Amino acid sequence: MATSGRENADSALVVALAAGATYTDAGQRAGVSERTVARRMEDTAFRAEVADCRRLMVERAIGQLADASTAAVATLRALLDAESDTARLGAARSILELGTKLRESVEMEARLIELEQQIGAVSGATKGRPR
């Protein structure tokens, strides 16, 4: 079954808007007017599609960053054995600073998850109670 022009335009709009294009630019990419873009964005389901697409883009970017981070760490580790004192010092500082930031981030995430679970438990426990 062939796809309609509107479905093609909507797909192009979703991708363009999710990537941060202005209404004008997104409309040009999709072959529709800026007003059409604005009307589509008034549709809750369409806005949800844009948000979902943006979330997927961010998840892919995070995956690529994670992959690149492994190579970056290997480079820093290799620089620890460099002949230059300056290169070794820079690598050591970077490793220590980044390690600390990563640890803090992981700890903060764990604390946030724990708080969300506690809030969920309290909310669940109070739902059945009369006021």
Q: What is the 3-state secondary structure (H, E, C) of 42-111?
A: CCHHHHHHHHHHHHHHHHHHHHHHHHHHHHHHHHHHHHCCCCCHHHHHHHHHHHHHHHHHHHHHHHHHHH
Q: Above 50 in pLDDT, residue 6?
A: yes
SS3 113: helix
Q: Which of 46, 61, 59 is nearest to 16 (CA)?
A: 46
Q: Above 70 in pLDDT, residue 3?
A: no
Counted domains in the chain:
1
Tokens of 75: 């480079």
The answer to the question of residue 126 being in a domain is no
At 55, the pLDDT band (50, 70, 90 cuts) reads: very high
Look at residue 124 in the predicted model and tell me its pLDDT: 78
Q: Which domain holds residue 11?
A: 1-57
Look at residue 4 in the predicted model and tell me its pLDDT: 63
The answer to the question of residue 43 being in a domain is yes
Instruction: Give the global pTM.
Output: 0.61
The rounded percent of the chain whose pLDDT value lies above 90 is 82
